[in-house]
Structure 1
Amino acid sequence: MENRIPPRTEAVEKLENYITSNHLPPNTKIPSERDLCEMWGINRTTLRFAVDMLVESGQLYRKKGSGTYIAESKLVRNLLGVNSLSTEVRQLGLPFSTHILSLRVIECTKQVSKKLHIPLGQNVYECIRVRSIEGVPCIMETMYLDQNQCPDLEKYYHDKSSIYSIFENIYKKTLVAGEEKISVTYVSEEEAALLDLEEGEPVFFATGVTTMTDGVPLEYYKQLFRADRFKFVSMIKRRMT
């Protein structure tokens, strides 16, 4: 006996295929429920399930009183990846830019001291920057760097330079490993303004430490990622024992 695909599953596949085959760009409004139901010969309950599934997965979004639209494609961030964010984005052929909001020397707090394994109150660089993809601000980042490891950083680092290239070429330090934690938070009024979001919108919150070849920490960072532009994945392999 032939196994028939459940109507709801089939509706999801039809909707995904419709978006793909018609090459619908982001922010395009999809046809009305009535039109789609007539097109595929399904009832509205089944169609609404399919739309809900694609909204939940981030492929569609709704505008109250207007309809349902194609969402922006999300950049996939591999939690086990070794490439920098700028490298990954440019490999996709997308314009990427950085705007440094501030770069200053401060005395490290207890938290920064613990993360960088340096004495409390020792000088560190605090760098706050916003990173944009295709002209859209997508990431807000605060970095803390041990000043002893990268003296006179302000002479070399600017919007057009790569911080990791400076580490390697100026200071002869290579960052090879790191530990990162991902959670969800909500943007403040100031953060929302910088990321072109509404206050209180959810974003991904990443914190991490990057170490050099000798195992010494050089960088502690905190990042806010727009949830409508990113998704995080972790590739795993089945254990054979």
Structure 2
Amino acid sequence: MIETPLSREVDLSEELVLSLREALRDASAEDELIYRRLAQAIQQHISRGLLPKGTRLPSERQLAEQLGISRGTIRQAIDELVDQALLQRKHGSGTHVVGRIEKSLTNLTGFSEEMRQRGMVPGYKWLHRERALPSMAEAAALEIQPTDQVLRLKRLRTADGTPIAIEQTVLPGDVIASPELIGDSLYAALHQLNAAPVTGWQRIRADIMSAEEAKLMRAKPGAAMLVIERRCLRANGRPVEFTETRYNGAFYDFSTGLQA
């Protein structure tokens, strides 16, 4: 995590405090929801880019003194933003802005490459991997027979150690002999086998996290998710990948270009 220089951090803190004071101006000390107003004000700063990724917030004690509210209220507001994956507490260095990731919908890149392009370290944890017969949807997407085997891979994907997506990929069984051949990047493995995708289609939809997904991504059940289903082809026109990636909505913005 990159921290802003100390001088810039002080400037940001002063601006933040003035804005937070304005947001809380009409709130009384007895207002039970004052912490939510505080959390919303900080969230707005993050969304507008006024608190960039890596920015360190003032300490709970400093904010309490400057805003004239209790440390308990400050802690509740920060807890809420930590639960939303917008802030992260780091032992010994305070609370930092996690920020959001902008994902292009027009580039055919893998998760690992996208994270490295943004200066982040990609990671993964295997949740499930097997050779099996395809479901009807998988057979149709990969244009294979119901009796053909597929390689089914499910991973928790991380950026700088933070879990941000659950990815399930299905490949034709004759493309990769074993899941052990796949490291942090599926596309790198496919390139080595001359089976890399060159074109594809994808669709996006909204969903909410199940209790199991929320536990994996350190979020709350019912939190927003953005789901992308991707189907990709090799240069010879054969389908090589059918993937559903379920992103933590607190981390991602999707973008695409428009032309009249």
Aligned to 1:236: 258
Aligned to 1:110: 136
Whether 1:225 aligns to 2:247 is: yes
| 1:54 CA drift (Å) | 2.7
Query: Is the partner of 1:215 in helix, strand or coil?
Result: coil
Whether 1:22 aligns to 2:11 is: yes
Q: Residue 165 of structure 1 aligns to which amino acid in structure 2?
A: A
The 8 Å contact of residues 58 and 228 in structure 1, kept in 2 or not, is answered as no
Whether 1:165 aligns to 2:188 is: yes
Q: Distance between the aligned counterparts of 1:108 and 1:178, measured in 2?
A: 20
Q: Distance between the aligned counterparts of 1:213 and 1:201, measured in 2?
A: 38
| 1:134 CA drift (Å) | 1.3
Query: Is the partner of 1:190 in helix, strand or coil?
Result: helix
Aligned to 2:90: none
Structure 1, 174-183 or 70-79: larger mean CA deviation: 70-79
Q: Distance between the aligned counterparts of 2:224 and 2:184, measured in 1?
A: 30
Any gaps of 5 or more consecutive residues in structure 1? 1-18
Whether 1:212 aligns to 2:212 is: no
Whether 1:36 aligns to 2:59 is: no
User: In 2 relative to 1, CA 51–154 (structure 1 residues): closer, same or farther, beyond 3 Å?
Assistant: closer
TM-score for the superposition, normalised by structure 1: 0.72
Q: Distance between the aligned counterparts of 2:115 and 2:16, measured in 1?
A: 28
Question: 1:185-196 alignment to 2 at 5 Å?
Answer: 185-196=207-218
User: In 2 relative to 1, CA 37–109 (structure 1 residues): closer, same or farther, beyond 3 Å?
Assistant: closer
| 1:156 CA drift (Å) | 1.3
Q: Distance between the aligned counterparts of 2:73 and 2:18, measured in 1?
A: 12
Q: Distance between the aligned counterparts of 1:94 and 1:210, measured in 2?
A: 25
The 8 Å contact of residues 59 and 72 in structure 1, kept in 2 or not, is answered as no
| 1:72 CA drift (Å) | 3.1
User: In 2 relative to 1, CA 44–195 (structure 1 residues): closer, same or farther, beyond 3 Å?
Assistant: same
Aligned to 1:153: 178
User: In 2 relative to 1, CA 155–22 (structure 1 residues): closer, same or farther, beyond 3 Å?
Assistant: same
Q: Distance between the aligned counterparts of 1:133 and 1:56, measured in 2?
A: 18
Q: Distance between the aligned counterparts of 1:180 and 1:21, measured in 2?
A: 43
CA RMSD between the two structures: 3.5
Aligned to 2:55: none
Question: 1:56-67 alignment to 2 at 5 Å?
Answer: 57=47, 65-66=73-74, 67=77
Question: 1:195-206 alignment to 2 at 5 Å?
Answer: 195-206=217-228
| 1:104 CA drift (Å) | 0.5
Q: Distance between the aligned counterparts of 1:161 and 1:96, measured in 2?
A: 7
The 8 Å contact of residues 224 and 250 in structure 2, kept in 1 or not, is answered as no
Deviations 1:71-112 (A, max 9, x none): 632110000113322112112211211222221011101110
Q: Residue 248 of structure 2 aligns to which amino acid in structure 1?
A: R
TM-score for the superposition, normalised by structure 2: 0.67
Q: What is the number of equivalent residue pairs in this alignment?
A: 204
| 1:206 CA drift (Å) | 1.0
User: In 2 relative to 1, CA 53–116 (structure 1 residues): closer, same or farther, beyond 3 Å?
Assistant: same
Any gaps of 5 or more consecutive residues in structure 2? 1-7, 28-36, 51-71, 82-86, 88-96
Q: Distance between the aligned counterparts of 1:79 and 1:194, measured in 2?
A: 25
User: In 2 relative to 1, CA 162–53 (structure 1 residues): closer, same or farther, beyond 3 Å?
Assistant: closer
